[in-house]
Amino acid sequence: MANPLSTLGIVHTVISIAPIVAGLYSFSKYAAIVPTSSSGRIYIITLILSAVTSFGLSSTGGFNAGHAIGILAILAVVFSLIMARLGWFGRLNRYLQALSLSFTFFLLMIPGINETLSRLPPSSPIGNGPDSAPVQTVTAIWAVIFLAGICLQAWLMHRRAGSAGLSAGL
């Protein structure tokens, strides 16, 4: 049987569901996580809360890959917000912002895949940690979905910018 969740583990799990829902909603509505939208703000806030609450969790008793993923996700959010403000890369800014926020969604799901497959079903979990074949397979499939998704996202952004430029006479 899988290890039971601690109180912090339960709180972290509940918090971690919110950015998944907000991210999926944003992707379906805008084809990106838009930080200025309600769903984008909810996504960013709950992603950061999810990462922060993960720092108190450790099956190894110290710093682990999940903590590193949380730090990387927070850094990607900060990068995204800086890109929106500074405009260092001109027309590429909006692509970099969208890519970095999509990357945070990808990162969010990696520990989720591991934890879900390592705990469900409770009587006989599918995986037994990040090194198990089922977890690695699903994570690899998730990486392919992410890569295809960001390519589609960039293409849609480019197409929308092109049609907006044509209609504006640019």
Nearest Cα neighbor of 54 from 75, 68, 39 is 68
**Is residue 152 in a domain?**
yes
pLDDT tens for each residue of 39-48: 999 999 999 9
Residue 99 pLDDT grade (very low, low, confident, very high; cuts 50, 70, 90): very high
Q: What is the pLDDT of residue 2?
A: 53
Q: What is the pLDDT of residue 64?
A: 78
- Upstream peptide bond of 125 is cis (omega within 30 degrees of 0): no
**pLDDT above 90 (res 54):** no
Contact by Cβ (8 Å): 101, 32? yes
Q: Looking up tokens 């405009």, which residue turns up? A: 87
**Is residue 2 in a domain?**
no
Q: What is the pLDDT of residue 149?
A: 95
Residue 7 pLDDT grade (very low, low, confident, very high; cuts 50, 70, 90): confident
Which amino acid is it at 166?
A: L
**Is residue 123 in a domain?**
yes
Domain count, the chain: 1
Sequence length of the chain is 170
**Is residue 1 in a domain?**
no
**pLDDT above 90 (res 142):** yes
Residue 50: domain span: 7-167
Nearest Cα neighbor of 79 from 66, 92, 61, 67 is 92
CB atoms within 10 A of CB 26: 24
Measured between alpha carbons, how far is 106 from 139 in angstroms, rounded to an integer?
A: 10
| Mean pLDDT calculated for residue range 110-115 | 91
Measured between alpha carbons, how far is 10 from 67 in angstroms, rounded to an integer?
A: 17
Q: What is the pLDDT of residue 60?
A: 65
**pLDDT above 90 (res 84):** no
Residue 59 pLDDT grade (very low, low, confident, very high; cuts 50, 70, 90): low
